[in-house]
Amino acid sequence: MYDVGQVLYVIFRNKQKVIPVRVMEQVVRRSLDGETIQYLVEIPGRSDFVDLDSLERETYTTLQEVRDSLRQNIWKVVEEMVEKAEKIANNFFGDDPAAGAESISDIPVTSSDNAQVVLENGQLANIIDNSVLQQIDS
């Protein structure tokens, strides 16, 4: 449950952007089927309130939770890339390279010193100095 006036942090799934929202209204409905709670939130730059449930998002109450979630998603992507590289290395350079070698024609070759990862939503992100993630808007 959230409190009226509470600031929440929303990660939009389709855009991978973090936006603060403020709970402006809590609507409680009780019926024979049970109780439902609806939160209307204020989004910076909009004059109307939006139903929190209508947003395709993940909601967090602290910025630390946002950081942890984003880092977890990044590490998941990195681990998948490393596992795929290991599989390709085993297929091409292992004991029997001819046994089911996977095509790697879809790997982009860039002249940049920065590594790139593809996020779950398909957007590209640069990893700079192996510690900083910079999103590339597409």
DSSP class of residue 105 equals T
Do β-strands 49-51 and 34-42 pair in parallel, antiparallel, or remain unpaired? antiparallel
Within 13 Å, how many C-alpha atoms sit on residue 92's CB side? Answer: 9
pLDDT tens figures, 65-118: 999 999 998 899 899 999 988 888 888 887 665 555 455 555 555 545 566 666
Beta bridge mates, 17: 12
DSSP class of residue 61 equals S
Which H helix or E strand runs over 20? strand 17-31
Task: Return d(Cα 5, Cα 135) in angstroms, integer.
Answer: 31
Q: What are the angstrom distances between the C-alpha of 35 and each of 26, 29, 32?
A: 13, 5, 8
Task: Return d(Cα 111, Cα 91) in angstroms, integer.
Answer: 26
End-to-end Cα distance, the chain: 35
Residue type, 51: D
With H, G, I as helix, E, B as strand and everything else as coil, classify residue 52: helix
pLDDT tens figures, 3-45: 999 999 999 877 778 999 999 999 999 999 999 999 999 999 9
pTM of structure: 0.61
